[in-house]
Structures are given as C-alpha cells and as structure tokens.
Amino acid sequence: MFNTVIWVYVALLMVGGLMGFFKGRSRISLISSLIFAAVLALVALNIFTPKYIAEIVVGFLFVFFAARFIRSKKVMPAGMMSVVSLVALILLFVAKS
C-alpha cells in the first residue's frame, strides 16, 4: 500500500505540474513537480531506501500547499493539493506501521 500511495501522489503531482505549465505557462511548476515526483518515484522503486524520505517530501509539500492556500484562498490548486498531501501523508504513516 505504501508504494501505491506514492505512485498515485506522483501521478497527481505530474498532472498538476503539466496543468500549471499549459494553463499558466509556469515552467517552475513543471520543473518542481518533476523533481518532487522523481524523488518519490525513487523511494517507491527502493532506490532511496529509507521510506521516511517520502514522508518528509509529502509533509513538505503539504506545508507548502497549505501556506499557499492560506495566502491565496484559492481552492485550485493549492487547497486541493494541501488536502491530497495531508491524506497521502496519513496513508503513508498508516501503511508503514
């Protein structure tokens, strides 16, 4: 289940990065989503062996998206991704134990 949560989250990150690039011409959105998705994919593929790396990355993204949502009050994409990140973080903790 741990890897499944990571792969679903990676897919959502990639879709979000692509949407940010195509809709808003935001290269930083695409690049940052690729970097975070790559790190999470390496954890899911057991290339980065400590599983807590995924929890740290998803936790960081939760804080990032929640702060953006608080500043902008926009549900898309910051509000939605903060909720998705929180759910993914909880599922990662549950799957690990």
**Predicted TM-score of the model (pTM):** 0.92
**What single-letter DSSP state applies at residue 18?**
H
Mean pLDDT of 20-29: 93
Query: Distance of CA 33 to CAs 1, 69, 80, 93, Å?
Result: 22, 17, 15, 22
Residue 6: per-residue pLDDT? 97
Residue 27: per-residue pLDDT? 95
Question: Degrees (nearest 5) of the Cα angle 86, 14, 61?
Answer: 30
User: Which of residues 78 and 6 earns the better pLDDT score?
Assistant: 6
Say if residue 19's pLDDT is above 90. Answer: yes
Secondary structure (DSSP) of 27-92 = HHHHHHHHHHHHHHHHHHTTSS--THHHHHHHHHHHHHHHHHHHHH--IIIIIHHHHHHHHHHHHH
**What single-letter DSSP state applies at residue 26?**
-
Number of domains comprising the chain: 1
Say if residue 96's pLDDT is above 90. Answer: no
Q: What percent of the chain has pLDDT over 90?
A: 90
User: Which residue range(s) make up the domain with 44?
Assistant: 2-96
Say if residue 89's pLDDT is above 80. Answer: yes
